[in-house]
Structure 1
């Protein structure tokens, strides 16, 4: 505790600050402190993203991407709103901070940011 208090004093000498208690939420990341663990999550952020992308009624699944999915840029299906697609990909990239298991799927979908289609 003495090290923590010393750190707080040093920070207060350099910066204007106040101690508000235990951290519970920071930059859309939920922080939960257990007896022996620190858990980070973004369930509220993920729910908001699902709602914004019109997928809030979709059923959850165990994998973030269909196995052996082959996407190609040479597609004949209609283009989607590129701005919305880029926005969703950006939000998903932020979600990867607490869900590293989605990193491959997000990176794969990111490859199509220049020319998004409805169904690759």
Structure 2
């Protein structure tokens, strides 16, 4: 099992704020003053061997685009990767991610023969819900069956993929 931790540090000096997001050996540094950001990066560079990759464009599967209206986050590439890995890139899209009035909690049937595939897919869907909040309920429901997925649970997860196929590049304004 791999443990992944994201740490976030925030500091406020008067009217100036500085935010640092740390994931393993990657950092995102943001703040209200470019001078403070530059000074902080110089400090970090004096302590550690660092490479400044410039403006944030892609981080942990999230694409970042800027406009005068703000930042836009998208996991289009990640969604397409999930579809490809599941062999569903050519599937027919559907309008809803889960059947209404589903009875997944009541399923007593044949266990899915590859529970690790189910767990991996649901884990990837959890991460995709970062920019796709409309998937939260469906992914939460699927996650309840990680210990003993049945065939209908796998079919429900595939249905979520068919929904994603219909709009892989949905964008979140932040």
TM over 0.5: yes
Q: Where in structure 2 are the equivalents of 1:14-53 lying within 5 Å?
A: 14-53=47-86
Alignment partner, residue 141 of structure 2: 108
| Alpha-carbon offset, residue 108 of structure 1 | 0.1
| Alpha-carbon offset, residue 66 of structure 1 | 2.2
TM (norm. structure 1) is: 0.84
Alpha-carbon separation, structure 1, partners of 2:105 and 2:81: 29
Structure 1 gaps of 5+ residues are none
Cα offsets for 1:19-71 (capped at 9, x unmatched): 22211111111111222311111111111111211222223344332222221
Is contact 1:73–1:115 with CA below 8 Å preserved after alignment?
A: no
| Alpha-carbon offset, residue 12 of structure 1 | 1.7
Is contact 1:24–1:30 with CA below 8 Å preserved after alignment?
A: yes
Alpha-carbon separation, structure 2, partners of 1:17 and 1:79: 46
SS of 1:55 mapped into structure 2: coil
Alpha-carbon separation, structure 2, partners of 1:15 and 1:35: 34
Is contact 1:28–1:45 with CA below 8 Å preserved after alignment?
A: yes
Aligned-residue Cα RMSD (Å) equals: 2.0
Alpha-carbon separation, structure 2, partners of 1:112 and 1:78: 11
Alignment partner, residue 117 of structure 2: 84
Alignment partner, residue 8 of structure 1: 41
Structure 2 gaps of 5+ residues are 1-33, 154-174
Is contact 1:92–1:106 with CA below 8 Å preserved after alignment?
A: yes
TM (norm. structure 2) is: 0.61
Higher share in strand: 2
Shift >6 Å, 4+ stretches: none
| Alpha-carbon offset, residue 101 of structure 1 | 1.8
